[in-house]
Structure 1
Amino acid sequence: MLDSILLQFMIIGLLGVGSQWLSWRFRLPAIVLMSIAGLLAGPVFGFINPEQDFGEMYQPIISIAVAIILFEGSLNLDIKEIRGLGRPVIRIVTIGALISWILGSFAAHMVAGLSMAVSFVIGAIFIVTGPTVILPLLRQSKLKPRPAKILKWEGVIVDPFGALLAVFAFEIILFLSKEVEGIALVYFLLASAFAVLLGWLFGKGIGTMFEKGSIPEFLKSPVVFSAVIACFTIADEVTHETGLLAVTAMGMTLANMGIASIQDMRHFKENISMLLISTIFIMLTASLTTDTLLHVFNIEIIGYVLLMLFVVRPLSIFVSTINTDLTMKERILVGWIAPRGIVALTVASYFASILLEEGFNDASIVTSLTFALVFFTVCAHGFSIGWLARKLDLSSEGQPGVLIVGSNTFSVELAKIFQELDIPTLLTDSSWGKLSKVRRDGLPFHHGEILSEQTEYRLDMTPYDYLISVTEYDSYNALVCTTFVPAFGRKDVFRLGIESKTGDHVEQMTRSIGGRKLFAEEISLENLISKIDAGYVFRKTSITEQYDYDSYLQDREEHTILLFVVKASKRIDFIVEGHSIKPERGDTIVSLTPPSKEFNKMKAKIQKHRNL
């Protein structure tokens, strides 16, 4: 085992972020890779044991990290987002959670062999799914908006309630078996109400200070994170586990105040949350013991996990969503997806220790039982969510799509060629008049301001991996690209330059503003529109073993403009300044070709037909 704490932190960070990268690179569930990496570094090879080596600092580190992750998740819970989904979400987080608690508790008692007292405590813990596992799966699977929103809301809302329900069940057990005074239950309920009020006050206070400009921009993120830690700590010191409820209330309060500063910081907080999820999951799995892992393979534990997967979860969702507008396909998907994560592991570990202290000896297998449920659900749901979503037609995964901002002659023809290549395409413009040709040609379109807050709720951007802004205003194109860089990634956001003698020009601005400029330096929007008007046509050329890229370059017309390459992997390589392309066999080159060559080809075909 490594003696250096600093070296252990380095390994934890590398394993966590490395797992995330491998997940992205090979399209594998990140949580599964992190679990495997933590197990290999911890109980298998014994390089690290964070719980043992970090000592008293281990639990506070985990708790604060979970609080920040849960706050970041609740910061996305804008009430406007669940218009039309309010009833199913409320049913799932209330009736569904209650059914899951009761059925899970009886399953733990009858199958896993736990006493009723311990069963009802861990049954409460296991109703949680949580943003630490749900959000990475949603990013990976590209679900359609309805099921994705339901799973996200359930994960964030039920997370703190699962911990609180476990505390409540524990207090009930002590009240019934240890003759503890009933005032303890009243105190717990009052502490929970205090946590909600505290979270609301923190959220309202921070939001009001932001709106009034009382906090400078460079201090906003530090102030928010300090407030989250303070809110969590105060509530948790009053009653253990109520801190999670407090930070959830704080995040939801801020999310529904509509503060621009919170929107600006959201992606920064998502990055922090991603880093924390990566490191904390490694720490938790690396801290497990060999005995815990061996207990996972007990027949009772495996039987309990199978019951939770195939009976308890589906039944709780199907019963709780009766008489809602969820389709059968949506109910099947939501009824299957329920991975457990960091909160389940940390809370179960806490209660395992205090239940043992209170004389419940069967609680010794709680940690093994929890890890078995976490690992098997993460693996089962991580590997199956994409496949099941595609089978149920609830996935937007497939050919990467293109979102085009700005309707004009060139962008309409570009959208047509994307359609011919079976590339999902949406053309959006705030002018109904400019969309007339789009409507006549039957192309998918969205009428509205792309930068409007309402667009986030009305427009499903899940199918689109690329954004191209091609309006006649350079500064607007730059603003659109800058706004959507966090969502699409800087390398997949593009804009077309305009002639500097017309409109405005942003070429002298810093490179951090705007997207990547398409095509060659001399190619502008006006230039492309004029070529379309002059009869230029889009041409698709397949690269084969016999006809390679060099042959294409030799044969192409002199004034041909290369636009993009559709790779055999379905990814699109756009032609941008300073980036060379290397089309290979199976790729398709799309270019804007002078009409003369097309006319000659047509004439040759006609002549050939006449000679037959």
Structure 2
Amino acid sequence: MIAALGIGAQWLAWRWKVPAIVLLLLSGVLIGPVTGVLDPRSVFGELLEPLIAVAVAMILFEGGLTLNLTRLKGAELAVKRLVFFGGPLVWLLATLSGHYIGGLTWASASVLGGILIVTGPTVIIPLLRQASLKRRPGEILRWEAILNDPVGALAAVLAFELAIVLNSSHSLSMTLGHMALGIAVASAVGLATAWGLIRAIKGGHIPEFLKVPVIIFFVMATYALPNALLHESGLLAVTVMGVVIGNSSLSSLDEIRRFKENITVLLVSGVFILLAAQVDLGTLATLTTREILFVAVVLLLVRPLAVFISLIKVDLPFGEKLMVGWIGPRGVVAVAIAGLFGARLVDIGIEDAALLSPLAFAIVAVTVLLHGFSLQPLARRFNLQSTDTKGLLIIGANPFTVALAEAIQSTGRPVLIADRNYNHLRQVRGRDIPTYYGEVLTEEAELTLEFSRFDSMVALTDNDDYNALLCMHYAPEFGHHQVYRFAPGGGAGGDHLEQTLGGRFFAKELDFEQATNYIREGWCVRLTRLSESYSFEDYRRDNPDARVISTYDEDGEVRVMHKDESFDAGDGETLLALVPDDTHRDKAERHARRQEQQPTDVSVDDGAHDDNDGDSRGNTTPGREPPEQG
């Protein structure tokens, strides 16, 4: 049931274009406190906390894998400020707000303040995936969320240990020494495990089929071992481990990263539903006005103020600073640590610590809802979204792709032509088509090109093997059903080649030689809108030789024609097709007909004035409304 709800919520969020975290939160609350269908503690018993702990460790490790240091170009100073200066500032401001506004004791307020440093990769990463932010603000939010997770956990641990010192006979110096030792051990364990795994994989000591299982085991071990010395220091260890492995040059790193990302989607879904299902709505209802005011202050004042102070003299536009200051949703780690430390503080006599869990969940719920629904509008307002309309990445510059790009751009969709041959790109220049010169399979291309602007890719070079390789490389990025290529020369690639090398055959097995020959012969890429008065059957009758490439419906959805597509199109759709340009032939035929009908003593012009009598492209049929064309 948990898996079905988690995956179902993610799928619905994708279909409805809403933040997935919001649906996960609602699903957990509905099956937990609202209906009572699921009580996680009665189902899992003592296994519940270890399960959530391991899931959080896996999520942080996967996040560390994605933190490539080379991607920090332009954002490095901002991330350092937010982690090393912004985090402690949030802790201080949240602690003061918790005590003076929320009415909490200093012990409870300081623990909660440390917890609120955490901005939650379990929430940020799905939001960034959906919002399609530009690279720099997206990377700032991603790095801050993942790096601040262990920082916030350790800050909460420090506050917790200090509370124990003040309520017991332990000395402060001994406690601080214990913490320093725990942090050092956690960092050393993370580095050592990462180094050992890298050496073992590069040396060929781990077979291919065991690489992911071995890494999963070491993630759990790396999390568990430091925790035996200092609570939650394992979060720091797995984050360090992930960052070190993610910045290594392992040949199988992409495969490992994709597998871990798939696991993380499932873990985030399950953990969020479990945590939401065990919320006590009765406790939330008991929150006083002071405590609700504290939640508002944390949301509207503490986070934005800390970010703006941290980013003073950092060269970022105001819109990006505002975006980073506002977007700070809390997630799984905040709720889990609040529940754990709150119960332990109550055990040593700090009664108001029972409010930590409901306060943390209230902050998580409010930030998830507000930030989830406001991220995209705010990004559009400050022009921080890569694009509202997803476009097409075309690899290969040639006469056909130039015509294709110009036609697609006329629909308002972004398009970019990339080629590793500078001479090929010369024919594109001066046509107002964005281009990229370089090898798109390199890391430099990943850093330079904003792939979030595109939802599909077509490999249309003159090299069939290279086209297949491009489809294999970009299939995980765009989806296997969203990468296309020319059919092998002669259009005789066969199903086996398509299935084994990836990528659908573009435009019903159109190959490079056919496409370029069509353009040389005067064919063009043309848009035609279908309507009730001009159906697809009418279009086919008027254009029997047309090679349909794709269709666009009124909502902007694109359907690319491929080998197995049994094609049909309805009213309101726009056809993009490669068609013969019959303009000159039509004019010559009309001129000849007029000459036959005119008396021999009447002079006849050359037909130049006749360009607009009907549709010069041959698509107007008597008795039917001419279609909209481009």
What TM-score results when the alignment is normalised by the length of structure 2?
0.92
Structure 1's 411 and 609: CA in aligned 2 closer, same or farther, altered over 3 A? closer
Give yes or no for the alignment of 1:239 onto 2:242.
no
Does the aligned pair in 2 maintain the 1:199–1:231 contact within 8 Å? yes
CA positional deviation for 1:507: 5.7
Does the aligned pair in 1 maintain the 2:103–2:291 contact within 8 Å? no
Tell me the equivalent position of 1:589: 575
Tell me the equivalent position of 2:497: 509
**Correspondences of 1:296-315 after superposition (within 5 Å):** 298-315=288-305
Structure 1's 267 and 609: CA in aligned 2 closer, same or farther, altered over 3 A? closer
Give yes or no for the alignment of 1:121 onto 2:108.
no
Measured against aligned partners, the alpha-carbon deviations of 1:412-448 in whole angstroms (never above 9, x if no partner) come to 1111111222210111111111111112323211111
Structure 1's 354 and 501: CA in aligned 2 closer, same or farther, altered over 3 A? closer
Q: Distance in 1 between matches of 2:229 and 2:348?
A: 21
Q: Distance in 2 between matches of 1:85 and 1:377?
A: 24
CA positional deviation for 1:172: 2.0
Contiguous gaps of at least 5 residues in structure 2: 591-606, 615-630
Q: Distance in 2 between matches of 1:567 and 1:605?
A: 36
Instruction: Kindly provide the amino acid, as one letter, of the partner of residue 426 in structure 1.
Output: L
Instruction: Kindly provide the amino acid, as one letter, of the partner of residue 575 in structure 1.
Output: M
CA positional deviation for 1:609: 5.5
Structure 1's 599 and 564: CA in aligned 2 closer, same or farther, altered over 3 A? farther
Tell me the equivalent position of 2:533: 546
Q: Which moved more, 1:116-125 or 1:410-419?
A: 410-419
Instruction: Kindly provide the amino acid, as one letter, of the partner of residue 543 in structure 1.
Output: L
Tell me the equivalent position of 1:446: 436
Instruction: Kindly provide the amino acid, as one letter, of the partner of residue 578 in structure 1.
Output: D
Give yes or no for the alignment of 1:555 onto 2:545.
no
Measured against aligned partners, the alpha-carbon deviations of 1:126-156 in whole angstroms (never above 9, x if no partner) come to 1101210000000111101010000000000
Instruction: Kindly provide the amino acid, as one letter, of the partner of residue 19 in structure 1.
Output: A
Instruction: Kindly provide the amino acid, as one letter, of the partner of residue 77 in structure 1.
Output: L
Instruction: Kindly provide the amino acid, as one letter, of the partner of residue 170 in structure 1.
Output: F
Q: Distance in 1 between matches of 2:465 and 2:439?
A: 15
Does the aligned pair in 2 maintain the 1:141–1:385 contact within 8 Å? yes
Q: Distance in 2 between matches of 1:609 and 1:515?
A: 42
**Correspondences of 1:180-329 after superposition (within 5 Å):** 180-181=170-171, 182-295=173-286, 298-329=288-319
Tell me the equivalent position of 2:56: 66
**Correspondences of 1:18-167 after superposition (within 5 Å):** 18-167=8-157
Q: Which moved more, 1:384-393 or 1:182-191?
A: 182-191
User: Following superposition, which runs of at least 4 residues in structure 1 exceed 6 angstroms of deviation?
Assistant: 601-605
Q: Distance in 1 between matches of 2:145 and 2:494?
A: 43
Does the aligned pair in 1 maintain the 2:490–2:511 contact within 8 Å? no
Q: Distance in 2 between matches of 1:416 and 1:498?
A: 25
Does the aligned pair in 1 maintain the 2:421–2:438 contact within 8 Å? yes
CA positional deviation for 1:457: 1.3
Measured against aligned partners, the alpha-carbon deviations of 1:433-472 in whole angstroms (never above 9, x if no partner) come to 1111112323211111011122111221110111000111
Instruction: Kindly provide the amino acid, as one letter, of the partner of residue 520 in structure 1.
Output: K
Tell me the equivalent position of 2:602: none
CA positional deviation for 1:587: 1.8
Tell me the equivalent position of 2:625: none
CA positional deviation for 1:545: 2.8
Give yes or no for the alignment of 1:330 onto 2:320.
yes
Structure 1's 433 and 231: CA in aligned 2 closer, same or farther, altered over 3 A? same
Tell me the equivalent position of 2:624: none
CA RMSD across the alignment: 1.9
CA positional deviation for 1:178: 2.9
Tell me the equivalent position of 1:607: 610
Tell me the equivalent position of 2:508: 520
Instruction: Kindly provide the amino acid, as one letter, of the partner of residue 505 in structure 2.
Output: K
From 520, 524, 527, the equivalent of 1:537 is 524
Give yes or no for the alignment of 1:406 onto 2:409.
no
Q: Distance in 2 between matches of 1:610 and 1:539?
A: 20
Q: Distance in 1 between matches of 2:138 and 2:120?
A: 13
Tell me the equivalent position of 1:8: none
Q: Distance in 1 between matches of 2:244 and 2:283?
A: 40
Instruction: Kindly provide the amino acid, as one letter, of the partner of residue 600 in structure 1.
Output: D
Does the aligned pair in 2 maintain the 1:543–1:586 contact within 8 Å? yes
Instruction: Kindly provide the amino acid, as one letter, of the partner of residue 533 in structure 1.
Output: R
CA positional deviation for 1:485: 0.7
How many residues align? The count is 596
Does the aligned pair in 2 maintain the 1:356–1:364 contact within 8 Å? yes
Q: Distance in 2 between matches of 1:608 and 1:147?
A: 52
Percent identity over paired residues: 38
Does the aligned pair in 2 maintain the 1:12–1:279 contact within 8 Å? yes
Q: Distance in 1 between matches of 2:608 and 2:249?
A: 61
Q: Distance in 1 between matches of 2:230 and 2:169?
A: 20
Tell me the equivalent position of 1:5: none
From 374, 378, 383, the equivalent of 1:384 is 374
Structure 1's 354 and 322: CA in aligned 2 closer, same or farther, altered over 3 A? same
Q: Distance in 1 between matches of 2:263 and 2:609?
A: 63
Q: Distance in 2 between matches of 1:174 and 1:597?
A: 87
Matched residue SS, 1:509: helix
Does the aligned pair in 2 maintain the 1:400–1:570 contact within 8 Å? no
Structure 1's 567 and 512: CA in aligned 2 closer, same or farther, altered over 3 A? farther
Q: Distance in 2 between matches of 1:432 and 1:608?
A: 38
Does the aligned pair in 1 maintain the 2:467–2:485 contact within 8 Å? yes
Instruction: Kindly provide the amino acid, as one letter, of the partner of residue 607 in structure 1.
Output: D
Tell me the equivalent position of 2:627: none
Contiguous gaps of at least 5 residues in structure 1: 1-10
Structure 1's 609 and 348: CA in aligned 2 closer, same or farther, altered over 3 A? closer
CA positional deviation for 1:408: 1.2
Does the aligned pair in 2 maintain the 1:295–1:368 contact within 8 Å? no
